[in-house]
Amino acid sequence: MSADFTREHWEWRIRVLVSTYLGYGGFYLTRKVFSICKTPIAEELGWELGRTAHIWTAFLVAYMLGQFISSYAGRRWGPRLLLLGGLGISLLCNLIFGFANSYYTFLVFMAFNGFVQAAGWPGCVGAISEWLRVKERGRIFGIWTTNYIVGSVMVKTLTGMFLGMTGLYLGLAGWRWAFFGCTALAFLLWWLLYFWQRTRPEDVGLTPLVTEEETERQTIHASKEDQVGMKDYLILALNPLVLTMGGAYFCVKFLRYALDSWLPSFLIIQGLDPSLSSYYSMGFDIAGLAGSVATGYMLDKWFKGNWAALCLVLSLGVIGGYLAVMYLGASPIAIALCFSIVGFMLYGPDILLSGAGPVEIAGARNGMVVAGIVNGLGSIGPIVQEEVIGRLVRGDVQQGMANTNRLALGISVLLMLLFIPMVIRLQIARRKRS
């Protein structure tokens, strides 16, 4: 090991990476149960399926607003507060969902849950940024940012299992057991965060890993102070490159959340059993996991850290995936396979825009802020998709599905176009540094 990276650094970094990786999976366990169970919940409680879109929209609006507040709070007071506080409160919200019988109980507490869930991603990015050296960011971020994919797979697997338990224990519906079971596992992950997560090496008496070399690589101006005020925050938030990244992430999250939220329901409409739809939809996530790992490798090996150029290439693959969905998706299996192509291509831009990209352009200390801003702007996409698709599937559901795929293709083209000015901006910055 190098002189600046001791065995103690290595041991603590493993703890931090593992705890934040699994901890963010815990955020998914307390976030995604509703979107998977929306059909059986609506059937049992007597709601029209399209009406559930408003509940998820309440979550998404609160989540979007919470991103901006959380990124500022985390930069000022540290990411540990975000992680433990956000996940802890979310656990309580999900216990309430397990007992709820009212549409308005879901509506109010889903909004509250969305607000505290927003602490998860900027908190995690801030929690690991100062544990990574410049030369290893691409591959480590590429692997570490699969956490939300693994979280999605976990919640879909567990929820599918619990949905099959309807009436077996205490006469409760399977979707209620899904909330209870996923919340219990997330509680264990909260304790893992509590014991293993530390924000920077200095917190455990080690020398810092963030060097002057790292700060000189910043593409945009950002304060390097331990704490920042609102002025410094606004300078970052209004930077044209950050705003363009936010626009691209709007497209990414529009597409990803559309599939997270609606793919299980679409498969049910195609004739699949509700418990099987959860498993079929996991193809999108599993392919996304493979794409994320491959993206980290390609970033360091072939693109030499040029994340925007890699995103441009992958966005062309997303377009190809949606064309496959439109022309080859004639059955539930075919639909699942085609969306797996989309997942492989889409998750690369997702992890780069929300993780490695912000840290690369703003440095380790400010990467959390930029990640939160980009995620906040991007989170407008899920809000829009939920209401738009909710309207499209009313009436003729099959035609609504076809129109949804056409809309997604258009969004993927817009995503590709937004990466072009980012590639140019980063290339100019690289030439100046050279």
Collapsed DSSP state (helix, strand, coil) of residue 234: helix
Residue 205 lies in a domain: no
Contact predicate 404/258, CB 8 Å: yes
| Domain range enclosing 184 | 7-199+237-433
Name the nearest CA neighbour of 56 among 111, 120, 115.
111
Name the nearest CA neighbour of 82 among 375, 380, 362.
375
354 DSSP assignment: I
Other beta carbons less than 10 A from residue 180's beta carbon? 16
Q: Is 112 exposed, middle or buried (0-12, 13-18, 19+ CB in 10 A)?
A: middle
DSSP string, 241-285: HHHHHHHHHHHHHHHHHHHHHHHHHHHHHTT--HHHHHHHTHHHH
Other beta carbons less than 10 A from residue 422's beta carbon? 22
Distance separating alpha carbons of residues 215 and 38, to the nearest angstrom: 46
Distance separating alpha carbons of residues 28 and 183, to the nearest angstrom: 10
Q: How many domains does the chain have?
A: 1
Element spanning 194, H or E? helix 174-196
Element spanning 159, H or E? helix 147-163
Contact predicate 291/146, CB 8 Å: no
Q: Is 384 exposed, middle or buried (0-12, 13-18, 19+ CB in 10 A)?
A: middle
What single letter denotes the amino acid at residue 31?
R
Residue 295 lies in a domain: yes
Tell me how long the chain is: 434
- The pLDDT of residue 268: 75
CATH code of residue 41: 1.20.1250.20
Distance separating alpha carbons of residues 106 and 375, to the nearest angstrom: 24
Distance separating alpha carbons of residues 174 and 48, to the nearest angstrom: 19
Residue 217 lies in a domain: no
Backbone angles phi, psi at 31, to 5 degrees: -120, -40
Residue 290 lies in a domain: yes
Collapsed DSSP state (helix, strand, coil) of residue 305: coil
Distances in Å between the alpha carbon of 249 and those of 207, 246, 301, 360, 394? 35, 5, 24, 16, 27
Structure tokens at 98: 């397990």
Distance separating alpha carbons of residues 96 and 109, to the nearest angstrom: 8
Distance separating alpha carbons of residues 312 and 98, to the nearest angstrom: 42
Alpha-helix residue ranges (DSSP H) falling in 302-331: 307-328
Name the nearest CA neighbour of 307 among 360, 343, 256.
360
Residue 208 lies in a domain: no
Distances in Å between the alpha carbon of 82 and those of 10, 260, 278? 24, 24, 30
Contact predicate 178/41, CB 8 Å: no
Along the 434 residues of the chain, how does pLDDT read in single tens digits?
A: 444 778 898 999 999 999 999 999 999 999 989 988 888 888 888 887 767 878 888 898 899 899 989 888 887 788 898 999 999 999 999 999 999 888 999 999 999 999 999 999 889 988 888 888 777 777 787 788 888 778 888 888 888 888 877 655 565 778 898 999 999 999 999 999 999 999 889 888 898 887 655 555 566 665 666 566 677 778 888 889 999 999 999 999 999 988 877 787 777 777 777 667 767 777 888 898 889 889 888 887 788 778 899 999 999 999 999 999 888 866 777 888 888 999 999 999 998 998 878 888 877 777 788 888 998 899 899 888 877 887 887 777 778 888 888 999 999 999 999 999 999 988 887 777 66
- The pLDDT of residue 1: 47
pTM: 0.80
Angle at 242 between CA 143 and CA 412, to 5 degrees: 70
Residue 85 lies in a domain: yes
Residue 317 lies in a domain: yes
DSSP string, 370-410: HHHHHHHHHTHHHHHHHHHHHHHTSS-HHHHHHHHHHHHHH
Distances in Å between the alpha carbon of 409 and those of 317, 324, 379, 405, 413? 11, 10, 19, 6, 6
Residue 206 lies in a domain: no
